[in-house]
Amino acid sequence: MAATTDSRIAVYAALAGNLLVACTKIAAAVWTGSSAMMSEAIHSVVDTANELLLLYGFHRAGRPPDRGHPLGHGRELYFWSFIVALLLFALGAGVSLYEGVAHLMHPAPIEDPTVNAIVLGLSFVFEAGSWWVAVRRFRAAAPGLSLIEAFRRSKDPPAFMVVFEDTAALIGIVIAAAATAAAVACDEPVWDGVGSILIGLLLAVTSMVLARESKSLLIGEPADPELADAVLELVRSSEGVLAANGLLTVQLSPQQVVVALSIEFADDLRADDIERAVVTIETALRARYPLIAALFVKPQTGARYRETRARRLRGSAPA
């Protein structure tokens, strides 16, 4: 449960930071009339709502199994993560682009750029603190991997979503600061609108990347390859097992995996012997890997397994 706990801490830190930033930016946007600042305020409001949705996803995913959901509700976290990515695109990117285009069509000067500068500086400090917490937690969950590789292999959307959102927020603040400075220095209010459009494009790209990864997890990704290899190694060393032919894994949530094993047992084993062997294997696997939420074992010869697998991969038989 350490990964889930770390993700919650990162989300709470991001929520606190985004709430402070949102209030500060909204006040500054109303005071100065800056389009780029308004886009940044919208960005922070959307981020704050996103953290609340992620926390709601944690709550929903933590419910125990029931008749309607025998494998639990863990995948709800992936669903709400996908919703967060869509909201980032629809609200964050969409409204920022609209605000930018509207300001290009009807440019208005920034009334008090000093306020913008102070607010953006404070916002950068708040966001940087949240970003630092998120990155440290994310790196701790995947030591030895680069950020890109850790993102690709992560099964924990809240963890990488907070990192991406905070990174986009820091870049957005830099864009807003540059747009404000250009609008004041050149006495051209259109640069303020350009800043809003760039922030909107930044949010659109970020949301598409997050939506793609969240959708993949929602549909059903396999578990980490290291887990699959370790499970097969343990099964092959179990008593009464001739061969562990292979397995299928599906990630239900960051801390829940379903495993289906194909095992060839010794020919002299009776049905009750095989049952005891399966119980022994399941007990050993659950003790070593508590994230295995469900285990299914299919006694099968190696030849039959290879034939079934080839037929399934060709698409001539249902999966």
Amino acid identity at 148: I
Torsion sign (Cα): 159, 162, 167, 168: positive
Strand order through the sheet with 241-253: 241-253, 256-265, 292-299
pLDDT of 23? 86
pLDDT of 318? 46
pLDDT range class, residue 71, cuts 50, 70, 90: confident
For residues 245 and 265, what is the distance between their CA atoms, to the nearest angstrom?
10
Cα separations (Å) of 252 from 79, 168, 198, 292, 311?
A: 11, 28, 36, 10, 26
Average pLDDT over residues 192-216: 89
Average pLDDT over residues 73-79: 89
Query: What share of the chain in percent tops pLDDT 70?
Result: 96
Instruction: Work out the mean pLDDT of the chain and round it to a whole number.
Output: 85
Average pLDDT over residues 93-117: 81
Q: 7, exposed or middle or buried, with CB in 10 Å at 0-12, 13-18, 19+?
A: buried
For 20, phi then psi, to 5°, come to: -65, -45
Average pLDDT over residues 301-314: 83
DSSP state for residue 65 in the 8-state scheme: P
Q: What digits encode the pLDDT tens for the residues 175-185?
A: 988 988 888 88
pLDDT of 86? 87
Looking at the predicted structure, is the pLDDT value of residue 263 above 90?
A: yes
Q: What digits encode the pLDDT tens for the residues 8-59?
A: 888 888 888 888 888 888 888 888 777 777 777 887 888 888 889 889 988 8
pLDDT of 235? 93
pLDDT of 157? 87
Helix (H) or strand (E) holding 305: helix 302-314
Q: What digits encode the pLDDT tens for the residues 115-130?
A: 878 888 888 888 888 8
Structure tokens at 163: 């990192």
Average pLDDT over residues 202-208: 90
For residues 160 and 146, what is the distance between their CA atoms, to the nearest angstrom?
13
Residue matched to tokens 């790196």: 139
Cα 74 to its chain centre, rounded Å, is 14
Q: Name, in order, each residue with C-beta under 8 angstroms of 274's C-beta and a sequence gap of 6 or more.
A: 240, 265, 299
Closest CA to 260 of 234, 279, 232, 236: 232
For residues 153 and 188, what is the distance between their CA atoms, to the nearest angstrom?
45
The answer to whether residues 170 and 17 touch, using CB atoms and an 8 Å cutoff, is no
Torsion sign (Cα): 13, 79, 25, 182: positive
Residue matched to tokens 């599906």: 250
Q: What digits encode the pLDDT tens for the residues 220-252?
A: 889 988 899 999 999 999 988 999 999 999 999
pLDDT of 315? 61
pLDDT of 319? 42
3-class DSSP assignment, residue 110: coil
For 188, phi then psi, to 5°, come to: -125, 100
Query: What share of the chain in percent tops pLDDT 90?
Result: 23
3-class DSSP assignment, residue 248: strand
Looking at the predicted structure, is the pLDDT value of residue 1 above 70?
A: no
Residue matched to tokens 């659950």: 286
The answer to whether residues 81 and 158 touch, using CB atoms and an 8 Å cutoff, is yes
pLDDT of 2? 45
Looking at the predicted structure, is the pLDDT value of residue 4 above 70?
A: no
pLDDT range class, residue 5, cuts 50, 70, 90: low
